[in-house]
Amino acid sequence: MAGEPIRVLHFADLHIGMEAYGQIDPQTGLNRRVVDFLGAFDAVVEHAIREEADLVLFCGDAFKNRDPSPTYLREFAARLRRLLEAGIPVFLLVGNHDLPGMEKRATPLDVFGEFRPLMREGDRLMVGRQERVHRIRTRRGLLQLIAMPFPVRARLLKAEAWRNLPLEELDHKLREALRLLLQRMLETEIDPALPTVVAGHFSVEGATYGSERQVMIGYDVVLPPSMFQHPAIDYVALGHIHKHQAMTVGDGYPPIVYSGSVERVDFTEEGEPKGFCWVEVRRGGTQWRFVELPARRFTTLSIDLRNASDPEMAAIAQIRRAVPSIREAVVRVHIRIRPEQIEGLREARLREELEKAGAFYVSGLRIEREEISRTRIPLGEVERLTPLELLERYLESRDPPPDPERRRRLLRMAEQLMKEDVDSGSGAPSDATSHA
């Protein structure tokens, strides 16, 4: 097999444990949305085995939070086992959702790394929690992998170098620390004759953000894509941002690619393709393609009833016409109506019609009447949402909603207030609120 490219399956942002927009599946005992995410993981595993991947590279955020339930750990482990039994090495990079509240504590992924010494070939399962070079022996040759997990200031900077700094200065120091680390690894630790992949979990300048900004855990540093323009690098595999995209810098080599999440998280990802990247790594000539997965659809149905003589029947007629887009989808409905029509519209009747149309889940009915709007969130969904997710829903319902940057600042400040006692290894600096 000499001379063949090394086949790498690159994916990220599983977020197992996302339960919004789902109910319990009686067959598995799991939330049906969790089943969706596990089904996407199954598809990744099946593709890797069928196409004889040489490495499965996971670029961070395995679970929704840092304390997954034993059930979620079991389901994750079962799929890892299938890959390992097929002889495929697996590399698990630590993302911000995988980080413990204190730097010294274990991440959920560390649990799997503990089994490495017991394996016949110890390099079959690797966990990347530190910035370092890994040399991985695959069936098609050696691959060098530079692990760059989610940047944690307590790991990268001395305490006196960042405490009480404005956010702009903290950004600069973190970027510079990461740049120097990467430069040192490229200049002193890799063999320039071997193919090299950088695996990272962070934001890159110019990328388009999605729902990850709404559920962010930890302080986010943004790196310039030019940092990865180096003749020794053949591919940059990224996680953290849920929208699949490739960053173009210079002549376009090396490819700098976010695989994106494997499932849609909420309506901010409505219409976005979801999947993973199939990468053929060759020294100086890497090629890749995006493989789309059949993710759960999110559908927004807009209905204008202001000219309807019978608003309820008019709404039902539009729902019935939209059945193909509603069936098996998470659905929300926005209705425009005149104030005097409101008594002729029963929400329960519309929900019943949406369920008959085969909706997977009815997220809510938003009724707008003369600039007044209200949003209904089902009680069961409210109970499953975190405080940050509820705040995001509230901000989304404002008329007009805050712009994306202001919303991000508000969510970051709220998270800081909720986590005042969290160790500085993953939280924002104590004075960050004043600079937000």
Is residue 250 within 8 Å of residue 270, measured between CB atoms? no
- Report the C-alpha gap between 270 and 276 in whole angstroms: 17
Residue 195: the pLDDT is 97
8 A C-beta contact, residue 308 and residue 276: no
pLDDT, averaged in runs of 10, over the chain (436 residues): 84 94 89 96 98 97 88 92 94 86 61 54 80 94 96 71 68 87 95 97 88 52 92 96 89 93 94 96 96 97 93 95 96 93 90 96 87 59 73 71 76 75 44 37
**Structure tokens belonging to residue 264:** 């849609």
Pairing between β-strand 222-223 and β-strand 196-201 as defined by DSSP bridges: unpaired
d(CA 37, CA 360): 15
The 6-11 sheet, strands edge to edge: 125-128, 90-93, 55-58, 6-11, 274-281, 287-293
* 17 closest CA partner among 73, 79, 92: 73
Distance of alpha carbon 156 from alpha carbon 43, whole angstroms: 36
| pLDDT given at position 66 | 81
Alpha-carbon distances, residue 43 vs 51, 83, 382 (angstroms) = 12, 12, 30
**d(C-alpha 295, C-alpha 372), whole Å:** 34
Smallest CA-to-CA distance from 69 within 24, 116, 93, 34 is with 34
Q: For residue 21, what are the contacts with CB-CB under 8 A and spacing of at least 6?
A: 33, 266, 330, 360, 361, 363, 381
Residue type, 200: G
State the virtual CA torsion across 91, 20, 65, 174 in degrees, nearest 10. 80
What does the block give as tokens for 95? 């993302």
Tokens of 305: 């009833």
Distance separating the N- and C-terminal Cα atoms of the chain: 54
The β-bridge relationship of strands 361-369 and 245-247 is unpaired
pLDDT reported for residue 387: 80
For the entire predicted model, the pTM comes to 0.79
Q: Which residues pair with 333 in a beta bridge?
A: 301, 365
Both structure tokens of 214: 């709404």
Q: How many CB atoms lie within 10 A of CB 346?
A: 12
Q: Which two tokens stand for residue 377?
A: 């969130």
Peptide bond into 400 cis (omega under 30): yes
Contact of 144 with 134, CB cutoff 8 Å: yes
Q: CA-to-CA distance for 172 and 151, rounded, in angstroms?
A: 13
Residue 251: the pLDDT is 80
What per-residue confidence (pLDDT) applies to 396?
Answer: 72
Which of 164-177 are b and which e, b meaning 16 or more Cβ less than 10 Å from the residue's Cβ? Answer: ebebeebbebbbeb
Strands 361-369 and 372-375 come out as: antiparallel
Other Cβ atoms less than 10 A from the Cβ of 50: the count is 9
Question: With the C-alpha atoms ordered 32, 264, 67, 364, is the resulting torsion angle positive or negative?
Answer: negative
Instruction: At 344, list the tokens.
Output: 């002729």
- Domain-by-domain residue ranges, the chain? 6-293, 298-387+395-401
Q: What are phi and psi of 171, to 5 degrees?
A: -55, -50
CATH T-level assignment (fold) for domain 6-293 = Purple Acid Phosphatase; chain A, domain 2 (3.60.21)
Cβ atoms < 10 Å from Cβ of 42? 14
Distance CA 362, CA 351 (A): 7
Alpha-carbon span 15 to 268, nearest angstrom: 16
